[in-house]
Amino acid sequence: MIMNRFRRLAAVSVATGALMMAGATSAQAVETWEGCPAGAVCIYPEGAGFNEGRPSHAFFSYGAHNLENQFGIHIVSNNQVDGAKARTCTGFNGTGDCQGFMGPQTFVNKDLTPINSIVLVP
């Protein structure tokens, strides 16, 4: 009888732990990361690292977003959800030389001097 009670308690503990882990995984995908809101691509001020969680720009909608007066090395972070990607381009409106895609929940130290737009894609 004690052994059966122990087995039931162990089974409930394992099930509860599994549910808690599943919930934690889902929540992590939609959290603010280094101050960048869930669903956004963020740029942080030049030479400031993650600037104590305060990005200077946050873009939420798919498509091209033009940049102005961004020079030097900045952190660009992709905190989009559902596998959405981002890329930087030398021309305005997502034209010119567009560099590789940044996957979700990634960041890069990027020289934005030659960059004139950032493109968010699903």
Q: Are 112 and 69 in contact (CB under 8 A)?
A: no
Query: Residue 108 is encoded by which pair of tokens?
Result: 């890069």
CATH class of 32-121: mainly beta
The domain locations on the chain are 1-30, 32-121
Q: What is the pLDDT, as a whole number, of residue 4? A: 47
Is residue 78 pLDDT above 90, yes or no?
yes
Kindly indicate the confidence band of residue 14, based on its pLDDT and cuts at 50, 70 and 90.
very low
**Which H or E element spans position 13?**
helix 2-28
Rounded CA separation 51/75 (Å): 9
| 84-96 confidence digits (pLDDT tens) | 999 999 999 999 9
